[in-house]
Amino acid sequence: MKYISTRGNAPALNFEQVLLTGLASDGGLYVPETLPTFSAQEIASMAGLEYPELARRIITPFVAGCIPDEDLAVILEQTYAEFRHTAIAPLVQVGANQWVLELFHGPTLAFKDFALQLLGRLLDYVLERRHQKVVIMGATSGDTGSAAIEGCRHCDNIDIFILHPHNRVSDVQRKQMTSVEGDNIHNLAVEGNFDDCQAMVKASFGDKHFLPQDRGLVAVNSINWARIMAQIVYYFYAAVALGAPHRPVAFSVPTGNFGDIFAGYLARQMGLPVEQLIIATNRNDVLHRVMTESTYGRQPLAHTLSPSMDITVSSNFERLLFDLYGRKGAAIADLMNQLESHDVRFSDAAMAEARKLFSSHCVSDAQTCEQIASIWRDSEYLLDPHSAIGVHAALNAGLASGVPVVSLATAHPAKFPEAMAAAGLNDAVALPPHLADLFDRPERFEVLPNDLTAVQAFISANINA
C-alpha cells in the first residue's frame, strides 16, 4: 500500500514511512493511494467477530508489505486488552432506532485511546526493527495528551514530551497526564495558552536542530494517518452488529478536527453501507458553515462545555476535499494557500457531492445540557457533553424512519464534571474503578516559561540515552 499527499507534490510513502512522518513535505496530509474494498459477502462474514480480529481484517491491507499478519494480530490483541469492556466498543440503545457506540472504555476514558494505544505499539514495533529511537512532541488542551502518554508508556524506543498550558486544563485531564509513571514520559506545563504550546511544537518540527542527530521527531496529533486507520474499525463493528451489509446505518459524530468522521467516510468508501454521516459541532462551527454556506472561514475560538471540540481549523477536512476535487493535488494546494490569508468558497460541484453523504448540526451549550438531562430522564443513560452533541444532532437529522443511527460516544461523563453540573447531574457521575484514586496519585510535571529555547533545552537535556 502506497500513501500520497493531498497536495500532490511530495514523495509517495509506504506505511512505515507514513507512520514516522507528520505532514507531507508539501504541507499536505497523507492518504492511501487506493482504498481496499470489502464485498457484501465479506462484510456479512464479519458478523460476531471479536474486536481485535475485526481490526486485523480491516487494517491488514493498509499495512501490507510493512507488518506481517501474525505480528499485526499480536499488536492488536495487546492494544485492545487495555480496554475495560470485553466488547471494546459496546452499543447501547437509547431510543427507537437510536444507538450510542461507547468508545470510552480505554485507559483514558476517551475515544482517542482506540488510535493512540495502537499508534504507540506500531511505532515501537517499527522502531525496534529499525534500531531507531524517536522523540514524540505534542501539544494538548486535554484528551490527546493523556491518550498519547498512555499509548507510549511502555515503548522503549520513544521519549514523549507533551506540552499543556499551565493551569488551563481541567483537573481530571491534568491528573490523567501527570500521574502516569515512566522514565520516558515528560509533561511540560507551559506558562502560556494552548496556541503557544502548539506554535512551539510546530516550530520544533520546522527546525529539529535542538535534537540529537539520531533522533527523529514524530507527531501524534490527529493528522497522523495511523490514527485515522484505527478509527475505521469501529464503524464496521457497529454497522455489522446492527445488520450491515443487509441494512444501512447512519452515524452521528461529535467533530472537531474531522479525524473521527473522516474514518467513517473511509468505511463507506470501503464498502460499508452508510446512509448518512452527521457532522455534529459545538459553537465552534467551521464545518457546519462549510456544509451550509460552502465557505471555509476562521472565527474566534469559543470556549464551550465540550472542550475537546473547541477548534477554529479542522485539519482533516483537507483529506475529504482531496476526494471532492477529484484527487487533484494542485487544486488542494491552491485552496489551502488561499486559506492562509482569507475565507475560501468551495466549488458547487464539490459541495453538492459532499452533501449527498454528509449533513451537519451546530449544537449550543444550552442544547447540550438539555440533551444530557433528557436522555437521563427518559433512559437513565448518562452522556458526556461531546456525546450529547452527537445524539442531539442525530435526533434532529430527519432521517428516514427505520434507519438506525449510531451516535459515537467519545468520552466518559466523569471526565467533564463542569458540564454534568451544568446539566444538573453532578451527583450521578463517578470515575470508573481503575481511576477512582486518580486524585490521590502523585503528579510529575515541569513548569516552563513560554519560551521556545527553554522548552527545547529541556527536551534535549531529558531525552533518555
Single residue of 157, 187, 222, 282 touching ligand PLP by CB under 6 A: 222
Question: In the complex, what is the shortest distance from the CB of residue 386 to ligand PLP, in angstroms, rounded to a whole number?
Answer: 4
Q: Exactly one of 29, 169, 309, 435 binds ligand PLP (CB under 6 A); which one?
A: 309
Q: Given the rule CB under 6 A, which of 19-27, 170-178, 254-262, 431-439 is the region that contacts ligand PLP? A: 254-262
Tell me if residue 112 is catalytic: yes
> β-pairing, 3-5 with 185-190?
unpaired
- Which residues from 399-418 bind ligand PLP, rule CB under 6 A? 410-411
Rule CB under 6 A: is residue 146 a binding residue for ligand PLP? no
Least Å distance, CB 148 to ligand PLP, is 12
Q: Smaller CB distance to ligand PLP: residue 74 or 421? A: 421
Query: Which CB, 16 or 310, lies closer to ligand PLP?
Result: 310
Q: Does 308 bind ligand PLP (CB under 6 A)?
A: yes
Q: Under the criterion CB under 6 A, does residue 276 sit at the interface with ligand PLP?
A: no
**Distance (Å, whole) CA 187 – CA 88:** 28
255 lies in the binding site for ligand PLP (CB under 6 A): yes
Residue with smaller CB distance to ligand PLP, 137 or 305: 305
Grid cell 448518562 is found at 382
Stretch that binds ligand PLP, among 55-63, 69-77, 94-102, 249-257 (CB under 6 A): 249-257
Q: Helix H segments across 308-407? A: 317-324, 329-341, 348-357, 365-379, 385-395
Q: How far apart are CA 119 and CA 59, in angstroms?
A: 13
Rounded to whole angstroms, the Cα distance separating 127 from 119 reads 12
Considering only 52, 165, 192, 259, the residue that binds ligand PLP (CB under 6 A) is 259
Beta-carbon count within 10 A of 145 CB:
27
C-alpha to C-alpha distance for 148 and 169, rounded to whole angstroms: 16
H or E segment to which residue 260 belongs: helix 259-269
Phi, psi of 229 (to 5 degrees): -55, -45
Closest CB to ligand PLP among residues 184, 281: 281
CB of 231 to ligand PLP, least distance (A): 8
257 binds ligand PLP (CB under 6 A): yes
Of 2, 112, 202, 356, which residue is the catalytic one? 112
Q: Which residues of 15-35 are buried (b: 16+ CB within 10 A; e: fewer)?
A: bbebbbbbbbebbbbbbbeee
Site string for ligand PLP, 101-130 (x = CB under 6 A): ---------x-x------------------
Please choose, from the candidates 198, 176, 196, 194, the residue with its C-alpha nearest in 3D space to the C-alpha of residue 185: 176
Q: What is the spatial distance between Cα 223 and Cα 259, in angstroms, rounded to a whole number?
A: 7
Q: Is residue 258 at the binding interface for ligand PLP, with CB under 6 A as the rule? A: yes
Stretch that binds ligand PLP, among 23-31, 42-50, 85-93, 256-264 (CB under 6 A): 256-264
As measured in angstroms, the least distance from the Cβ of 105 to ligand PLP is: 13
CB 329 within 8 A of CB 346: no
Closest CB to ligand PLP among 152 and 459? 152
Using CB under 6 A, count the residues that bind ligand PLP. 16
Return the SS3 of 410.
coil
Query: Radius of gyration of the chain from Cα atoms?
Result: 21
Q: Round to whole Å and give the CA distance between 166 and 174.
A: 9
Phi, psi for residue 53 in degrees, rounded to 5: -70, -40
Site residues, ligand PLP (CB under 6 A): 110, 112, 143, 222, 254-260, 308-309, 386, 410-411
Q: Which residues are catalytic?
A: 112
